[in-house]
Each structure stands twice: as structure tokens, then as C-alpha cells.
Structure 1
């Protein structure tokens, strides 16, 4: 449920409007198709490694184990900062949503109230966090069906305005501003799908990752096709890319779904702010979870203070939670004053490329994990779960991550509707600069080879052992395995 629901967030409810205006109906749909194929590929790499190595801050520890420590340090701190920024961003988005009903409550008060809510969810037992996310995911999952079926009715002319839109906007102008604007849609489409990574993060604390993770990865085609592709298609056939509210509207009024319902005359459904509110709060909560586990993983790799590796008996990393939630809240208060909004916007631009870099490092980690497994003479049949997409999907995801980082560089140097300037470049691309600096500093500290030698990787360290069917059939008939059904059940399951 977390894998299904965490991919439904502000990128789908609000971000699709900006993409529609930039790339046009065909542009945004093709953007989601291409981004979906990439995320599908990366998620299969996550699934195979998350089952056998279900670690806190999985991406960081996989990178350190299979690629190199320098890349792990750069990835870990970049990812942690993106989680902190996301917490601040979602707290501000909560204020934006609530302002639809009232503007009498100060922004600082809303930020404080819902910061406390995020804290309470994260400091409870991990089962509390899981139950809250399941409830939020169920609501979002159910609402997406309402959106899709209702917009089908709207496009067919069944709404109160009786305007059969059909594919009017596709026929009029499928691509609004050419190839360059289509490229600008791609980072937004990828960012809207980055919630799918959370199935890898929570694997470390599931009772049986061998069953839970493949089930989550196996459903990715459903959320990609149903949520993003079909959802994007419904937006493109019911909202004009030239609609002024998309570019000039503020908050939820700029949501293409709200615009579609309002223009169709279905005012009750236009008040979908409650669902958007739940999406925002859920994203903030899981960002606190992910950020704290990322610093915990860094500490276990000796890349963060040792205090961050400490957790209580139920798995709560108190110091990591404290610094992550505190800094996220502090950045959220920057939006209290209008003069600080520009500063926060500059910080927010860091997150998309940080996320893309994180997804990109999963693929080489998977490729080198398989190479190490083979190089050390192990049988692929002994893996607890293996993806049928390897190696093609892993290479596909890696190549597209590299391509999109290059595309973002191109758009930062030659921005849409503006002349090249240093301010615009650093505002949009400084995250890559930060990653490169972190990596080079780590290289100076760690020295050694650029890549970890696959023949020297300890494949059994931090591994969760499972008994394959082949091992079960060839098990000894006498001794420990034969005499202890409880032990056999634990290992086999």
C-alpha cells in the first residue's frame, strides 16, 4: 500500500498543470510514458536488492557496497538534504491547501501544528507509521478512481455543461512549443514518480521482505499505467494547455483537476483539497522516515556522526529523526515572510536532480551486484528473488538518468524564454555541482580505486538469508535443519 500510495502526490495533483502548459497534451503524455519506463526499470533493480539486502537507507548502503564509498557519501548527503527540503516544501503546501478555506490562521501556526503531526507519526512505533501511511494510501488510491471515471464522463459530455471535449486539445495543438519544451517536461514527469522508491526504503522493517517487496514491485505497472499515464491522459483531454489558470492560478486553484471540474460545472468535486491535503501530509511524513533512515545508513558507513546509528529497541533512530525533522521545520518557516520565498524556491530547485541522481545510482549498484555474484561463483538461482528484466532494464534506467541530467544542464544553460545567465544556471543546476563537490572531497579522503573490486565484495555481510527451493530439496536429512522445523520455517520463508 505504501508503494501504491506514495507515488500519488503533488506531482500528480499540481505538477501536471505546468507540464501541460509547457509540452502540450501529447508532450506530457509521452513524457510520462518515457519516465514511466525508466522508473519501472529502476524499481525492478530496487526490488531484487531490497529482498536480499533490506537495509536502512538502502540506496546509500548498496552504493557503498557495490560501487564505491565516495559515491555513497555524495548520494547519502544529497538524498538526506532532498528529504529535508521535501518536509519543508510539504509543510508550506499544507498552508497553501488550507488557505483555500481560510486565511485567518497565520502561516507559522499551520506550519507548527502539522510539524507536530509529522513528529507524532514518526516517533511512534514503526507500525504506527505503517498504519497511517496505509490509511493515506487507501484514500489517495480510492480517489484516483473517482478522478479517472469522472473525467471520462466529462470528456464525453456528461457533465452539467454538456461539452463533449473528446480529443479537441490533442487535435488543435499536440505539442505547444516544440522539442525544447518537451525536454523541459521530462524532469517534472520523473519527479512526479519518485515516490515509488519508498518500497525499497521500508523493506528493512517489513516482517517478510521476500513476500512484501516483490508484491510491491510487481504492482508498479498498475500505478504507472493507472495513476500517471491514465491520469495524465484525462488531464490532457479535459484541460486546455492555454488555460490561464494553469500559469496564473495560485495553490490548488492551479491544479488541472480542479480546473477541469470547475469548468465542467461539477463544483463539489472541485473541492478535492481534502485529498490534496492528505497527499501533502503523507509525503511530509514519509520524508521524515526516509531522511532519518538515510542518516542512519550514513552513520553505519562511518560517513556521519556515530550518534546517528543509534536506534531504540523498536527501531526508532532518535538522533537522526531529531535533526531531520528540526531542519525541515526551520526551512518551512522561511515561507512566513514573502522576502524569504525566493530563498526557499532556490532551495527547492535542488530536489529534482538529487532524486534523479539517487535513482541513477540504483542501476549501477544492481549491475555490479550481479557481476559480483557471478564473479564469486554463486548461482543466480540462489537469489531470494530475481528480476526477469535484468540486465536490460537496469541499463535502460541508468542511460535515461544520465540523459536527463544532461537535458537539465542544457535547459539550465539555455533556459526557456530567457537568455543564458549564471544566476539561472546555479538556481537550476547547483544540486549537481554540490554532488560533484561531495564526491571529489570523498575521493580525496578515501583514495583507493574508483570502483570496488567485485571479487572482494563481502556478499554475505548485511544479507538476509533465505533458503531457495533448490537448497531446500538438497538439504541434509539429518542434523539441525532436519530436526528443527521452527528454524527451517524461518529461513525458508
Structure 2
């Protein structure tokens, strides 16, 4: 490895002429790409606005929502789970606006990891990058473990290890194909999930109103009876699962490095996030609370079949066809989430390599844009961890992994908001006009501060829950480390990196090279003007050749 300070990283990249892309050609997509100024990598910009928008819509819809909602309903009750998703949704909406502004300006392979090294601190970037990489591996394992729980609804004949192996291979095949193959698979999966949620909302409203075969009008019976099953602590316990359910929403920042025109693609993805938040999480969780009792023993995390609350809702209503279809969509969702975690993990290691915080081989990708050196260890470790489910219940493994991932996610979301705040501060310090930004978030700085503060508060809340967990035991070291080891790992990585890199506590914003890693754009009007100028020059040369 070749460690670099932020200053060294910001000044060592080759620049290109202002009217050329790195390979000497103009971009032909929408706004003309003028230059990357160091943002060019072995990755191929073969993903379109359609890919980025659909990945942003459906990338995080997996086990956390479809299965984890059962655990949240048991612990928090109907009001607890709904408020948990409402608060988590406000947080990721805030984070998404910070991602949007930064990803248009700096579409880098590991996005927020490299932004952290540039605007915050190299040691923080080291801790964030490796912690996030491990988080992606954990997510792969959790989604594979979920596949077994989902399939047990149909049969228990096939061994757990066999199911994990089968779907591990599926995730590997999706990732080892060309990037366009990955993009198309995610578009199909996201389209199915997005379409199915309308079926869920309409059908469960009908069921709640008494329109099902059993004609039992549930309404808001469970809200009136037990809005919170375990009081305020139960609501706090719901938060890690809600954060885990939304983890991965930030992946649109990673995908921006492989899109042809981030200036058009990223704002559309950010603008569509409210659809996912309202339809999937808020309305989806509301449908569960008005059709399923929080004391139903068949809920995931309960004593019965451990099925998804959506499946339980259809089965209790006497609609087995929709229960089976729901289970199939959930299976597709968890495999999709596992696949995109493999994609994101490989790109994170590439960004670390560009920061000099990982072996330089991780910078490379093959001619189709596949970063093999980062992809293989991500898929191997993620699949290997999934086999923990063989000796433990699916709900128990889910609890471990979701707590670990939610803390990593909170750290990542917080750093994204902090990077946004410091980027804007650097922009102002160096006398640049905010009107020159290729895309500006209309919510700045309020959402960036809100997201940062909420992430800090929830990390403290999870410390409280690690010592005093719902249902005890209180102060148990094993429980504490199982639930809070992520923070310990982050601190160890940060302190170790800080001792190694030394230097300033923070990056000096007055000296940050704001053009390094930046992608420049030319508006269509300027592009047409340049084309006319070029035609005029060619004509003059032709006339000169004739008369001379």
C-alpha cells in the first residue's frame, strides 16, 4: 500500500484540457462532459439514468423491510414501527440530498469514502471504507440467511447450507457478468418490487376493511389495543431494524461513477427517493400494522413459522395465493439486495486503493469494468458468513447482523452529511460561487445538519440498548459486544489509521484542491456554440487549402 495524506492525494492526479474527456473525445450524452480531472478509472460508464433511478428506488428493499418488519412489530407495536420508519425515512431523505450534490460533482468509485478523505480526514476515510466494506459483506450474509427463512415457508426438506450455497452462486453470477448485466438485473428486480407494492397496499386495505374471505374488518384494532408493545424502549429497539432496512439507499452515490451523465442521472434518483420512502416503508409498514397482530406467534422473530408479516397477513386473511406470491417477491428482493451489496463492496475497495489505503491492485478492473480484486473477497467473505445461520435461528442471526450493519450505516450516513457541510465550507472559503455547482440541493444546510445530528443521537441510543437491551440481561458483556462491536471496530480502525497518518486533525479546507476528482460539464448551449465554432474552423481550412 502507498499511504497518502489528503494533501498528497489532492495534488497528484493528471489533468486534461478543458474541452476534452480523458480519452480525447467529447461526451455525446446530454450535457457534454468536459473533463474528469482525476475521476477517470478502469470502470465503464455504461449505466444509464434508467439504471440509476431504478437502483435508487429498489436497491435497499430486502430483508429489512419484508422480514425485519415482523421483529419490529413485536418489539415496538404498530405505532412504534410506523414512527421508526418515519424517522429513518426523514434521515435517508436528508442524506440523499447530500449524496446528490456530492455525486454530481465528484462521481468517484467509492463515493463517500473518497469524499471523506478529501474533505474530512484520511484516518476517517480509512475507518469508513473498511467498516463499510465489512458491512456490505454482512449484508450479503444476512440476505442469504433470509433466503432460507423464506423458503422454509414452503419446505424444510432441503438443508439450510444447500439453500445458502444455491443463492450464493446466483449472487456471484449476477456480479461476474458485465456491469450492464448487473444493471439490467437490478432494473427488473426493482420493477417487480415497485409494481408489487401497489398490489400489497390495495389488497391489504381491502383485507383490513373486511373484504377478505374471512370478512373480518380489522381496521385500526391493533393500534387502539396496543400502539406500543414495550413502551419507549420498544420504540428505540425498532430503530436499528428500520435503519438496517434502509441501508443501501446510499448506493446511488457509488453507481454514479459508472453512469454516463451524473448531472442528469443523480438528481432524478434523489428526486425519486420520496416515492420509495412513502410507498414501501411508510405505507408498507402501515399495511402490516392494520392487518397483523403484534402478538402473532408466526411473525419473524416469534415462536411460530417465522414468516414475513406480509405473508402472515395474507395467510390469516385466507388468501393463500397472494401469500405464496408475496413470499416469491420477498425471495427475489433479498437476492437482489445481496447482489448490489457485492457490487458496492467491490467499488468501496477500489476507492480505498485510490486513497492509498488498500493494495494498488484493487484500482484495476478488466476491459468490461469488473474490479475482480475487490469483487472476489467481498463475495467470498459475505457468502462464508451466511453459514452462521446453519447453527442458529434465522431471527437470531438477523438480530446480530442488523445491529452491526445499522451502526456502520449510521456512521456512513453521518460522514456523508459531514462531507457535504465541509465541501460547501471549502467552496466558500476558496471564494467560489455556489451558482457554479452543477447541481445544488435546495435543502442545504438544514437536512445535512439534521442527518448528522440524528446519526450521532442514534449511535448513542444503540449504546444504551447494548447495555440495557429490551428484555435483558442488563450489563451482559456478551450482549454488549454482540450489539455494539461495530463502533469498537470503527474506533480501532480510526485510532490505528490516525497514528499511522498523523498530520492535522482535520483536512485544511482552504487548501483542498476542489478540482481534483471532479467531473466538469458543459451546458447544451455551450456545446452547440462549440460545434458551430468547430464547423467554421473546418470551413476556413478547406477554403484556404483550395486557394493556396
Deviation at 1:364, TM superposition (A): 0.4
Find 2:412's aligned residue among 358, 375, 379: 358
Distance 2:494 2:316 in 1: 50
CA deviations on 1:333-389 (whole Å, 9 max, x unpaired) are 333345999789656642221111111110000000111111111111111111000
User: Counterpart of 2:38?
Assistant: none
User: Counterpart of 1:333?
Assistant: 387
Structure with more of its chain in helix, by fraction: 1
1:190 paired to 2:243: yes
Q: How many residues align?
A: 479
Distance 2:395 2:334 in 1: 19
User: Counterpart of 2:15?
Assistant: none
Higher alpha-carbon deviation: 104-113 or 275-284: 104-113
1:224 paired to 2:274: no
> Bigger radius of gyration, 1 or 2?
2
Q: Output aligned runs, 1:135-214, within 5 Å.
A: 135-214=188-267
Distance 2:534 2:315 in 1: 65
Structure 1 counterpart SS, 2:505? coil
Deviation at 1:27, TM superposition (A): 1.6
Distance 2:528 2:142 in 1: 56
Rate the CA distance shift 1:159–1:387 in 2: closer, same or farther, 3 A.
Answer: same
CA deviations on 1:124-154 (whole Å, 9 max, x unpaired) are 1111000000001011111111110001101
Unaligned runs of 5+ in 1: 486-493
User: Counterpart of 1:380?
Assistant: 434
Find 1:483's aligned residue among 533, 538, 541: 533
Structure 2 counterpart SS, 1:82? helix
Deviation at 1:201, TM superposition (A): 1.3
Residues 331 and 344, structure 1, Cα contact 8 Å, conserved in 2: no
Structure 2 counterpart SS, 1:245? coil
User: Counterpart of 2:148?
Assistant: 95
Distance 2:398 2:388 in 1: 7
Distance 1:35 1:347 in 2: 18
User: Counterpart of 2:487?
Assistant: 432
Distance 1:384 1:260 in 2: 47
Deviation at 1:320, TM superposition (A): 0.6
User: Counterpart of 2:22?
Assistant: none
Distance 1:431 1:250 in 2: 30
User: Counterpart of 1:266?
Assistant: 319
Deviation at 1:255, TM superposition (A): 1.4
Q: Scaled by the length of structure 1, what TM-score is found?
A: 0.93
Deviation at 1:88, TM superposition (A): 1.6
Residues 292 and 321, structure 1, Cα contact 8 Å, conserved in 2: yes
Structure 2 counterpart SS, 1:238? coil
Rate the CA distance shift 1:401–1:340 in 2: closer, same or farther, 3 A.
Answer: closer
User: Counterpart of 2:545?
Assistant: none
User: Counterpart of 1:459?
Assistant: 514
Residues 139 and 401, structure 2, Cα contact 8 Å, conserved in 1: no
Q: Output aligned runs, 1:392-411, within 5 Å.
A: 392-411=446-465
Unaligned runs of 5+ in 2: 1-53, 536-548
Residues 263 and 439, structure 2, Cα contact 8 Å, conserved in 1: yes
CA deviations on 1:61-119 (whole Å, 9 max, x unpaired) are 01111111010000000000011111122222222222333333333333232222212
CA deviations on 1:161-207 (whole Å, 9 max, x unpaired) are 11111111111122222111111112221221123112111111011
Structure 2 counterpart SS, 1:254? coil
Rate the CA distance shift 1:250–1:357 in 2: closer, same or farther, 3 A.
Answer: farther
User: Counterpart of 2:84?
Assistant: 31
Higher alpha-carbon deviation: 341-350 or 184-193: 341-350
Residues 161 and 265, structure 1, Cα contact 8 Å, conserved in 2: yes
Deviation at 1:467, TM superposition (A): 2.8
| RMSD, aligned α-carbons | 2.1
Residues 80 and 295, structure 1, Cα contact 8 Å, conserved in 2: yes
User: Counterpart of 1:444?
Assistant: 499
Rate the CA distance shift 1:267–1:408 in 2: closer, same or farther, 3 A.
Answer: same
Rate the CA distance shift 1:24–1:96 in 2: closer, same or farther, 3 A.
Answer: closer
Residues 364 and 371, structure 2, Cα contact 8 Å, conserved in 1: yes
Structure 2 counterpart SS, 1:466? strand
Q: Scaled by the length of structure 2, what TM-score is found?
A: 0.84
Rate the CA distance shift 1:59–1:26 in 2: closer, same or farther, 3 A.
Answer: same
Distance 2:88 2:399 in 1: 24
